[in-house]
Structure 1
Amino acid sequence: MSSQSPSSLAPLLATVALVACATGVTAQSALPGVGPQPQLPAPDKSLLPTVNIAPAEGWAEGAMPRAPQGFRVTALARGLDHPRWVYTLPNGDVLVAESNKPPPQEGAKNVHAEGIRGKVMGWVMKRAGAGVPSANRITLLRDADGDGVAETRTVFLSNLFSPFGMALVGNELFIANADAIVKVPYQPGQTTITAKPVKVTDLPAGANHHWTKNIIASKDGSKLYATVGSNSNIGDNGMASEEGRAAVWEVDRATGVKRLFATGLRNPNGLGWEPQSGALWTVVNERDELGNDLVPDYLTSVKDGGFYGWPWSYWGANVDARVQPPNPQMVAKAIVPDYGLGSHVAPLGLAFSDARMPPNYASGAFVGQHGSWNRKSLAGYNVVFIPFANGRPAGAPVEFLSGFLDDKGRARGRPVGVALDGRGALLVADDVGNVVWRVAVAR
């Protein structure tokens, strides 16, 4: 397909013309595109899509996000370097991936990174707090006394390549770099690892338009599941550059042999095993440039062999006419996602709750929403809770952690990864605030 369609050039014009400070965030319950059967508007065919980013501000001294009554928020650690992902080890230690987008590999083609457009979009990302170099490390945090503040902080593993997801199986820790899954030996209580990582398997890389790779282990530890986002919005770099992307891979842990598990997922990130059904779920960032209220990002179960529409369609069989040539055979196979989260909220983190939380938060999914950059009214910039019953979403989203935007539409922080810690509190990686927040039941 052509890589220089009018729609692919539109963001450059939009970026130059429409970058503005936001005026506020839309209430989660008022967002269109939320729920199991969201009403979808007609696509906005304007050549000037909205670009509206919340400028990165950071947290003022003593300020922190807001949680529901009955919860207490503390900063588990401050002064981190673009913390993106959190993972809790069995002994309660917390691993934090301090990471950002890697440089493109030599020879990798990405129309979004070339010329004036690339420079302008780079400026936008810098304004959003995403322009810093990658620290390429994992930091260990230990809160031995349980007061919500880590008294031990060490460099656990360094010299990685834009690390993101982590998974411990037995005495092996697996890390998803931007280009491969690697592993290192681990013993309980270790605060640093000096062993050189061993490659398990390569992951699709190259231009890395969506670079974040997450992993989760199967219950028996024999398989790893890895997310790989697309290399573009809607195949703008040509479908050859999307080989193996917009997908979840299944990897044999022992051999590294892998197969495509599910496809057509534009940018999947968080992964979780739903406790009641045992099904794998993910959150997905959908496509841009179809208007403020298209296309809903979503939370969905991931079916073996399932195809979820990207790039030819969205929310099932809704055809994206910008993608040429069309592919009606694939559109006919497209699975409708389980639950819409609203358009452009940018869901990244996913953690299923358990009975250590109060009853109204004990069954469901916490979702870290990084926040919109392409919607007239800002959306996301929060952590929401989706209640579940019988293994399925069963109610409207509840805003669980808020206050990431100030009253002028500037971002104090932006949530990314979420996880329950060893005591059942929720951890939230904040890559603009450079904090890992801890939200625990007030005692």
Structure 2
Amino acid sequence: MTVTLKLLPLAVGAMFACLPYANAAQDNVNTLSNFRQTGNTTPAETIPQAGQTADALRKNLEQIKLPPGFKIELYAVVPEARHMAIEPSTGVVFVGTRKNRVWQVTDRTKQRMASDVVQFASSVPFKVPNGVCFSPDGVLYVVEQNRVLAFPAAQFFGEGGPDVAAAVVVPQGKLIPTQFESFNHGARACRIGPDKKLYIALGQPWNVPPKDKLADLDRNGLAGIVRMDQDGKNREVYAHGVRNSVGLDFNPKDKTLWFTDNQVDGMGDDVPPGELNHATKAGENFGFPWYGGGKVRTVDYKDQNPPAGVVFPQVEFAAHAADLGMSFYNGKMFPQKYQGGIFDAEHGSWNRTKPIGARIMYIPIKDDGTAGEAEVFAEGWLTPSGEYMGRPVDVQTLQDGSLLVSDDYAGAIYRISYTGSK
């Protein structure tokens, strides 16, 4: 980590010197990385937390079914809310999107609902800033389609306006080769591992990639998970054969990596299954594109020999339910049954005759470190008639042990708490 990422919040005021306005938006990150002001005086966008939209979202939540003793409430109105990162000391929630916004969600009164939702770092021209994650020492990482940025003390700098302290971890155009940029599978997910390295899941741009592109994809970590030092150095491919993972987390007990993976489309309503995978060491291959999900072979690669030692999923989810964000539950609020297990957000199908998904799944982890059978934890965002009221994307645990759920369709974050007897 460079010295610029170790700044104390108390030094914020002394770090900025006024400079002429940087006219080119692409220059702003370099300006901010030198702790200089861009001259941008446009107020950051704010999202009202009261009114018709909030009232309608609360009404919709009456349809959500949960186990006895649990309740769900509106935490924040957040347009296009995707992956979330919770700042360790203050509980400020940073929310990525598939557009050009990162949101800063603050609960100032600790009443477990947002006091304000403000555009974060509005001087920065983000492109698909879906992946957000925190290091244990409080640095926010934002992984875009083809760039990685770091923001020290983001919760404090973000209070000051459009300009924030920033550092470039991976420059624009260097996360993946630019010829592989695509609107398809371009949303990244990230985590800081127990080894203090930054892990990033990289989807590849095809449903099933052409054979002549496979080696280049694999060499660059697409259709895989890469890891690197927090300053971007020493990059390597950690996991191969991953079609499009948009959710990963580490088991606090044994420090191993788990991740979701979305299966191949167009093979039928009920095949292939979605996946929850378990990586125990670097270099493992999880079977794509030879397998489209589980042990179902793809048409394109059915005559090709898969790599030796393919690691098959720990859990097979319903086909096309689109399992995205996942996290280990590390809180104490929920009953013992849920502690140490995995919560998983199913975004919902887009190409199935009868829609499925739009729910939160729970997966227990056994004493031997393997997964038990998945079960539905929260559902109701998909109506009996097949209409989506919401589409969950990510799940994260607040400091009080409640569970946050993001929803990019409804533009909201929900909070699930437990009030029953344990």
TM-score when normalising by structure 2: 0.76
2:206 alignment partner in structure 1: 232
Q: How many residues align?
A: 348
1:211 alignment partner in structure 2: 186
Q: Which has the higher contact order (CA 8 A, sep 6+)?
A: 1
Instruction: Give the deviation of 1:255 after TM superposition.
Output: 4.3
Instruction: Give the deviation of 1:399 after TM superposition.
Output: 1.5
1:63 alignment partner in structure 2: 60
Q: Which amino acid aligns with 2:310?
A: A
Once residues 407 and 61 of structure 1 are traced to their aligned partners in structure 2, the CA distance between those partners, rounded to angstroms, is: 19
Match of 1:175 among 117, 142, 154: 142
* Contact 1:164/1:175 (<8 A) preserved: yes
Task: State how 1:108-127 maps to structure 2 within 5 Å.
Answer: none
1:351 alignment partner in structure 2: 327
Q: SS of the residue aligned with 1:219?
A: coil
Q: SS of the residue aligned with 2:110?
A: coil
More displaced 10-residue stretch of structure 1: 378-387 or 166-175:
166-175
1:254 alignment partner in structure 2: 231
Percent of aligned pairs with the same residue? 25
Once residues 255 and 322 of structure 1 are traced to their aligned partners in structure 2, the CA distance between those partners, rounded to angstroms, is: 35
Match of 1:308 among 283, 286, 289: 286
Instruction: Give the deviation of 1:339 after TM superposition.
Output: 1.3
Q: SS of the residue aligned with 1:72?
A: strand
Q: Where in structure 2 are there 5+ consecutive unaligned residues?
A: 1-54
Cα 1:144/1:68, change in 2 over 3 Å: farther
TM-score when normalising by structure 1: 0.73
Q: SS of the residue aligned with 2:82?
A: strand
Instruction: Give the deviation of 1:150 after TM superposition.
Output: 1.1
Q: SS of the residue aligned with 1:275?
A: coil
Give CA-to-partner distance per residue, 1:99-144, whole Å, 9 cap, x none: 22xxxxxxxxxxxxxxxxxxxxxxxxxxxxxxxxx2x222122224
Q: Which amino acid aligns with 1:234?
A: V
Give CA-to-partner distance per residue, 1:179-206, whole Å, 9 cap, x none: 1211122166454362364321232251
* Contact 1:385/1:398 (<8 A) preserved: yes
Task: State how 1:327-366 maps to structure 2 within 5 Å.
Answer: 327-328=304-305, 330-356=306-332, 357-366=334-343
* Contact 1:248/1:263 (<8 A) preserved: yes
Task: State how 1:2-401 maps to structure 2 within 5 Å.
Answer: 62-64=59-61, 65-78=64-77, 80-100=78-98, 134=99, 136-158=100-122, 159-169=125-135, 170-186=137-153, 189-192=156-159, 194-195=163-164, 197-201=166-170, 202-204=174-176, 205-221=180-196, 223-236=197-210, 239=213, 242-243=217-218, 244=220, 245-302=222-279, 303-314=281-292, 318-323=296-301, 326-328=303-305, 330-356=306-332, 357-390=334-367, 392-401=369-378
Instruction: Give the deviation of 1:301 after TM superposition.
Output: 0.9
Instruction: Give the deviation of 1:317 after TM superposition.
Output: 6.0
Cα 1:96/1:76, change in 2 over 3 Å: same
Q: SS of the residue aligned with 2:247?
A: strand
Q: Where in structure 1 are there 5+ consecutive unaligned residues?
A: 1-57, 101-133
Instruction: Give the deviation of 1:400 after TM superposition.
Output: 1.5
- The alignment yields a C-alpha RMSD, in angstroms, of 2.4
Give CA-to-partner distance per residue, 1:272-296, whole Å, 9 cap, x none: 1112221011000011122122111
* Contact 1:178/1:211 (<8 A) preserved: yes
Cα 1:195/1:96, change in 2 over 3 Å: closer
Instruction: Give the deviation of 1:239 after TM superposition.
Output: 1.5
* Contact 2:87/2:138 (<8 A) preserved: no
Once residues 409 and 316 of structure 1 are traced to their aligned partners in structure 2, the CA distance between those partners, rounded to angstroms, is: 26
